[in-house]
Amino acid sequence: MQNQRLLLSAIMLAFVSANATADPLTVYGKGNVTLQSTDDGEGSFSEVKSNNSRLGFKGDYDLEDGLTAFYVFEFGVDLADSSDGDNVKSRNQYIGLKGNAGSIMIGRNDTMLKRSQGKIDQFNDYEADFKNLWAGENRMSDSVTYISPSFNGFSVGITYVAEDEKGGEDAQSISVSYGDSNLKKSQFYVALATEMDMKGYDSTRVSAQAKFDDLTVGAVIHKQEAVASGVSEDGVLVSAAYAMGKITLKGQYQTLEDDSTASIGVDYKLGKNTKALAWYTSQDLDNANDKSWLAVGLEHKF
């Protein structure tokens, strides 16, 4: 309930501010809900899931000396399971400055290793999301992130996470990338990223994606090591999407040692910002029950 009041207050403040001043403000969001048949290895059941639906506010302001101030306040909104009153959660929330020397953001933010995946994860926010097998999908509080300007297509990013308390541990995440991660300004995107002591893991990834007309393909090589135990694990991921008019076919395969996840899916475009979707994911786990999911749903962005 407290989170709901906070979100309502933020919405009211945003609209009052937008009407009272000429400062630019953008309200944005996404609703994604699926009806799923889930088999957790012990039995099957149906459920309705909200897949990282969100509501956000962002804007920027021109300052002196070529600087621009900007902000993002984003909230996760669970559209399906709200009976416990905890259906609003914090996502990326930060303020920043950008100019000729690059951009700096302070607050809660995705680390540079997480950012380095670009759009390679074709099943992001679903059961086959990177995070369900791999360490490194971190959104960190107490963080400062710097992203350099592009130099001939190359960019460097650094995330520093403060200790937050006496006896705590700081952490760092660094990436070097080439090209546009959205594949709108370049045909290719490549990134090398590593992070140290982030939520108990050291992780490294090499990511690449390319677009050839209607076909988009991607791959990631991943390595993670538990800081406490020293146990090291390797994984790979390959993904592909093929657009045929309003229909996009998708496939993805991810591994971590002997564990694997395979997914196929289809999106059907109903409008500029709306689509119907269906997907199937099978997860083969070495030391746990195998799982599978079949889902149909809708997504709308604004």
H helical segments located in the chain: 2-20, 112-115
**Residue 164's pLDDT is what?**
82
Give the pLDDT confidence score for residue 3 in this predicted structure. 55
- The total number of residues shown for the chain amounts to 302
Q: DSSP E strands: which ranges in 63-187?
A: 68-77, 88-99, 102-110, 139-147, 154-161, 171-179
What's the CA gap between 22 and 28, in Å, rounded?
Answer: 18
88 and 76 in contact (C-beta within 8 Å)?
A: yes
In this structure, what token pair is assigned to residue 104? Answer: 């700096």
DSSP 117: T
Instruction: Spell out the per-residue pLDDT of the chain, length 302, in tens.
Output: 555 555 555 555 555 455 444 457 999 999 999 999 999 989 999 999 999 999 999 999 999 999 999 999 999 999 987 666 678 899 999 999 999 999 999 999 999 999 999 999 999 999 999 999 999 999 999 999 999 999 999 999 999 999 887 667 899 999 999 999 999 999 999 999 999 999 999 999 999 999 999 999 999 999 999 999 999 999 999 999 999 999 999 999 999 999 999 999 999 999 999 999 999 999 999 999 999 999 999 999 99
Number of Cβ within a 10 Å radius of residue 256: 20
Q: Which helix (H) or strand (E) holds 293?
A: strand 291-301
Using a 10 angstrom Cβ sphere, with 0-12 exposed, 13-18 middle and 19 or more buried, the burial of residue 46 is exposed
* C-alpha 257, offset from chain centre: 23
Cα distance between residue 246 and residue 268, in whole Å:
6
All structural domains of the chain, each given as residue ranges with its CATH number in brackets, are 2-301 (2.40.160.10)
pLDDT at 163: 87
Give me the pLDDT at residue 110, please. Answer: 98
Task: Say what the pTM is.
Answer: 0.89
Residue found under tokens 């995330």: 159
Long-range CB contact pairs, 256-259, < 8 A, 24+:
256/133, 256/134, 256/222, 256/224, 257/233, 257/286, 258/286, 259/133, 259/283, 259/284, 259/285, 259/286
How far is it, in rounded angstroms, from Cα 242 to Cα 296?
19
| Residues linked to residue 263 through DSSP beta bridges, in sequence order | 252, 281
Residue 11: predicted pLDDT = 55
